[in-house]
């Protein structure tokens, strides 16, 4: 295979990178040379990932750094690349691999907790939607002819449900096809158009309840990355700049970037954090204490740990709030359909009694 320089390589998934780093740590700790470790991994890599590992092997054998190769060919983040680069230059690559793996594992664990907390509410929402569609498409078409044959003024609720049923029967395939196309196209538009991505991020930041969770998640990842870089020996200004560049959540990235010049001038990080709005109040004092005691990296990681616990508590509160609301909503929908059927019959029964 030729050495390809200009190809844009697809970024590896987080779990794939964790496994890769774990294998590299194991092989290099056992005394294997760097290129041999990479070749062993390349031999056992999945078919779609083998070319990128092979290119990384060739880059390392041509004198390149492992960190730069992983960043270019495997899509490793700048934080992971910086940790590995510090380890390579200091002769502590095994330790750096372990730090990078631990950092990504913690981030992956936090992401999975956030995702799993939303599974049950989403499942309830999907079930409620399917139940509503089933009632409107399956039950109402059997009832509507009878209701129309009553030749009376139907209640407003009944007319609304009948209108929804008629339109769902007439345009249902087009509605579902359009919804499916939106599901497919929306992620592509989000990735390709920066303005759409920025709008989504800033809209998420101001969303009640969920917005706070998104900000906390992004901040936790950024603080942990910065702390790991500082503990590896990188200067505070360089670590702050690298983390700011790799922060994915744009509102937080903008806030950090606005203070980047102060950090570069040597302003204490705790003072900088104290001036950033919407950050939890305990972060700045923790960082100030870490700077005073010479343990800034550990203090940043400690702040990230506290944020992680806050996120878990917030997720439990959010799911505890969402579940009864969605159950009540599902009950209201089913009740409305039932009432739309019963109300005309009840009105006629009263007329017949008189």
Give yes or no: residues 223 and 287 share one domain: yes
Give yes or no: residues 185 and 301 share one domain: yes
Q: Whole domain around residue 287: which residue ranges? A: 118-354
* Domain boundary residue, one of 56, 77, 104: 104
Tell me what pLDDT residue 286 has: 92
Give yes or no: residues 315 and 230 share one domain: yes
Give yes or no: residues 79 and 135 share one domain: no
Give yes or no: residues 100 and 158 share one domain: no
Q: How many domains is the chain partitioned into structurally?
A: 2
Tell me what pLDDT residue 330 has: 77
Give yes or no: residues 157 and 21 share one domain: no
Give yes or no: residues 173 and 133 share one domain: yes
Question: Is residue 169 one of the residues assigned to a domain?
Answer: yes
Give yes or no: residues 237 and 90 share one domain: no
pLDDT tens, N- to C-terminus, the chain (354 residues): 444 554 667 788 889 999 999 999 999 999 988 889 999 998 888 888 989 999 999 999 998 899 999 999 998 888 888 889 888 888 888 989 998 998 889 888 888 887 887 777 778 778 877 877 777 777 777 777 776 676 667 778 878 877 877 777 777 788 878 888 888 898 888 888 888 888 988 988 888 877 888 888 899 989 999 999 999 888 999 999 989 988 888 999 999 999 988 999 989 999 999 888 778 888 999 999 999 999 999 999 999 999 999 988 888 887 777 778 877 877 887 788 778 777 777 766 666 665
> Which stretches within the chain are classed as H helix?
14-29, 34-44, 50-61, 66-69, 78-90, 93-117, 119-134, 140-148, 156-192, 194-205, 210-231, 236-246, 250-258, 260-264, 269-274, 283-293, 296-353
Tell me what pLDDT residue 4 has: 52
Give yes or no: residues 312 and 174 share one domain: yes
Tell me what pLDDT residue 7 has: 60
What pTM does this model have? 0.75
Give yes or no: residues 274 and 327 share one domain: yes
Give yes or no: residues 135 and 67 share one domain: no
3-state secondary structure 41-98: HHHHCCCCCHHHHHHHHHHHHCCCCHHHHHHHHHCCCHHHHHHHHHHHHHCCHHHHHH
* Domain boundary residue, one of 104, 132, 161: 104
Q: Which two tokens stand for residue 310?
A: 């806050």
- CATH of residue 264's domain is 1.20.81.30
Tell me what pLDDT residue 150 has: 65
Question: Is residue 8 one of the residues assigned to a domain?
Answer: no
Tell me what pLDDT residue 318 has: 79
CA 66 to chain centre: 28
Question: Is residue 6 one of the residues assigned to a domain?
Answer: no
Tell me what pLDDT residue 21 has: 93
């Amino acid at each position: 295979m030729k050495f390809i320089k200009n190809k844009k390589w697809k970024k590896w998934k987080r779990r794939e990178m964790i496994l890769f780093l774990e294998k590299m740590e194991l092989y290099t700790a056992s005394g294997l040379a760097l290129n041999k470790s990479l070749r062993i991994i390349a031999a056992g890599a999945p078919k779609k990932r083998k070319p990128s590992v092979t290119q990384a092997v060739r880059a390392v054998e041509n004198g390149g750094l492992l960190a730069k190769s992983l960043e270019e060919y495997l899509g490793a983040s700048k934080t992971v690349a910086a940790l590995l680069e510090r380890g390579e230059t200091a002769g502590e690559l095994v330790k750096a691999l372990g730090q990078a793996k631990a950092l990504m594992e913690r981030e992956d664990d936090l992401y999975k907790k956030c995702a799993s907390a939303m599974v049950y509410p989403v499942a309830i929402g999907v079930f409620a939607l399917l139940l509503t569609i089933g009632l409107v498409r399956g039950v109402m078409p059997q009832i509507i002819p009878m209701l129309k044959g009553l030749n009376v003024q139907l209640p407003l609720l009944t007319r609304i449900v009948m209108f929804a049923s008629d339109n769902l029967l007439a345009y249902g395939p087009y509605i579902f096809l359009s919804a499916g196309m939106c599901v497919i196209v929306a992620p592509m538009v989000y990735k390709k158009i920066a303005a759409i991505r920025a709008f989504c991020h800033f809209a998420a930041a101001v969303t009640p309840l969920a917005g706070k969770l998104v900000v906390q998640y992004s901040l936790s990842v950024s603080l942990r990355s910065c702390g790991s870089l500082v503990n590896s020996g990188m200067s505070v200004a360089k670590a702050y700049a690298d983390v700011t560049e790799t922060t994915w959540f744009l509102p937080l990235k903008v806030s950090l970037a606005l203070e980047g010049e102060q950090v570069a001038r040597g302003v204490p990080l705790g003072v900088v954090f104290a001036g950033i709005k919407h950050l939890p109040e305990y972060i700045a004092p923790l960082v100030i204490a870490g700077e005073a005691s010479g343990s800034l990296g550990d203090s940043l990681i400690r702040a990230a740990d506290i944020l992680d616990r806050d996120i878990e508590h917030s997720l439990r509160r959010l799911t505890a709030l969402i579940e009864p609301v969605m159950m009540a909503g599902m009950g209201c929908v089913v009740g409305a359909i039932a009432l739309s059927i019963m109300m005309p019959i009840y009105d006629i029964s009263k007329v017949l009694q008189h």
